[in-house]
Amino acid sequence: MSGMFVHTADVHLGFQKKEGLAQLEREIFDNMVYWCVDQKVDFVLMAGDLFHTNIPNMEVQKHAFSAFAELHDAGIPVYAVYGSHDASPVHGSVIDLLAEGGFLKNVHAPEKLDDGRIRLGFTIDPKTNIKIAGLPGLKAGREEAYFKMLDKESLEAAAGPKIFMFHGGFTEITEGHKGDSMPISLLPRGFDYYAGGHIHETIKSKYGDAPVVYPGPPFAGYHADLELNAGGMQRGHMIVRHDHGKVTDVAGIASRPKVEYLTIKVDAEGKTAKAVDEELMYKVAGAVPSDKVVLVTVAGELSEGKAADINLIGRADWLYDKGAIAVELKHHRLASKKFAVGKVQPKGTRKEMERAVFAQHMKEYKGPRPELMGEAGLKFAATVLRVLSQEKREGETKDDYEKRVINPATKLMMEHADEAEKAA
């Protein structure tokens, strides 16, 4: 029996907070769903990061359930592995509600063996009899350790057409792409299709004779994603045709909205902040942003002035007033050479290196806060750095992280300022 299925990943529903971009995010996902229903695909594979957080806001949840209901009512199964953004070992996850409601099937079905290895079960698609197994994406680069625990022999010995799903990078395929990677030899052999997620570009490679495919995000929304979209890279939904489970073709994008992008770039290298601001104003004034997503990038080391002297927000407001769907701002290295840190020789312990960097900064500081200079300033900077260096814990929400780390650091700085004012 010949047929086709759709492979998608890294949808990141709920990523966008700006209404224009959020609308595009929803539209792109809906178009994929409608296309699958219209074409009566056999099933849909979702290789992780369906949501940007494990518990997105209620509007995102309602929209997702509505879309999955369309697939469910059309009799189209959805098979998924969770990405590092989807699930949390500490808190609940909306994706678990979708699974409990029968809107998708989590194909990660582990069984721990007596020797400590992990045996994965197969989910069998009732229409095609294709077997599907997979592993979720894990945080902090722990995928490799999990892959090494796999009982690959049982996976490889299973007869019939089969698909392996995963959310992670493999060095031989994804080298040069952002994120951790592991040797491709950790993948079980003998599968007919390897459905990947996590890499935000479209990649089609091989493992043995079988395709290893990363569809890339349909939209996502990191500035780099939008730049790739603006450059014309087609990503997000791979249409996979098969004959009795044997893959015959991997191609195409199921559906994308026709969105125009406008890119405005200013090279700030060696220029004054005033000159950069004037150049940006000139380029913005000559732009036609109506009904477009506008990407503004200003990068380089200033010869004089500071980043705050460049009116990025004001230029963005002008673009919105002229009808831009959304304006995304990116600035890089916008520090004046006057305030640049000199080269610090890599000697001593980490604390000694940090102290040397702070001391270099303080030589340039001419502000009205003497308590930020000298030994007192060095001790205070080290204390604040120690508080802010705490990493976000696995499963910790942004609000919880801010309460635990950011808020105490802010309070510490305010108390320091109050003490200095009293002493003065």
pLDDT tens digit string along 289-320? 999 999 999 999 888 888 888 999 999 999 99
Nearest to 290 by CA among 88, 28, 27, 20: 20
356 torsion bin: left (phi>0), alpha (psi -120 to 50), beta (else): alpha
- Alpha-carbon span 75 to 77, nearest angstrom: 6
Split at pLDDT 50, 70, 90, the class of 398 is: low
Query: How many Cβ atoms from other residues are within 10 Å of residue 387's Cβ?
Result: 17
pLDDT of residue 288: 94
Comparison of pLDDT for 371 and 264, the residue scoring more:
264
Nearest to 79 by CA among 146, 39, 124: 124
Return the sign of the alpha-carbon dihedral for residues 171, 252, 8, 258.
Answer: positive
Average pLDDT, the chain: 83
- Alpha-carbon span 43 to 5, nearest angstrom: 5
In this predicted structure, the answer to whether residue 88 has a pLDDT above a threshold of 90 is no
Highest mean pLDDT among 37-51, 207-221, 392-406: 37-51
pLDDT tens digit string along 191-218? 999 999 998 888 899 998 999 999 989 8
In this predicted structure, the answer to whether residue 67 has a pLDDT above a threshold of 80 is yes
- Alpha-carbon span 65 to 47, nearest angstrom: 18
Q: Domain 2-251 is classified in which CATH homologous superfamily?
A: Metallo-dependent phosphatases (3.60.21.10)
Q: Which of 112-121, 284-293, 338-347 has the lowest mean pLDDT?
A: 338-347
- Alpha-carbon span 237 to 248, nearest angstrom: 17
Split at pLDDT 50, 70, 90, the class of 37 is: very high
Residue 258's identity, in one-letter code, is: K
As to burial, measured by CB atoms within 10 angstroms (0-12 exposed, 13-18 middle, 19+ buried), residue 250 is: middle
Task: Report which DSSP code applies to 22.
Answer: H
- Alpha-carbon span 102 to 61, nearest angstrom: 15
Active centre residues (catalytic): 85
In this predicted structure, the answer to whether residue 179 has a pLDDT above a threshold of 80 is no
The mean per-residue pLDDT over the stretch 41-53 comes to 91
In this predicted structure, the answer to whether residue 83 has a pLDDT above a threshold of 70 is yes
Bridge partners for 321 per DSSP: none
Split at pLDDT 50, 70, 90, the class of 373 is: low
* Per-domain residue ranges of the chain: 2-251, 260-337, 341-423
Residue percentage of the chain with pLDDT more than 90: 38
In this predicted structure, the answer to whether residue 263 has a pLDDT above a threshold of 90 is yes
pLDDT of residue 305: 86
pLDDT of residue 416: 63
348 torsion bin: left (phi>0), alpha (psi -120 to 50), beta (else): left
Is 93 in contact with 86 (CB distance < 8 Å)? yes
pLDDT of residue 131: 95
Annotate 365-408 with three-state secondary structure. CCCCCHHHCHHHHHHHHHHHHHHHCCCCCCCCCHHHHHHHHHHH
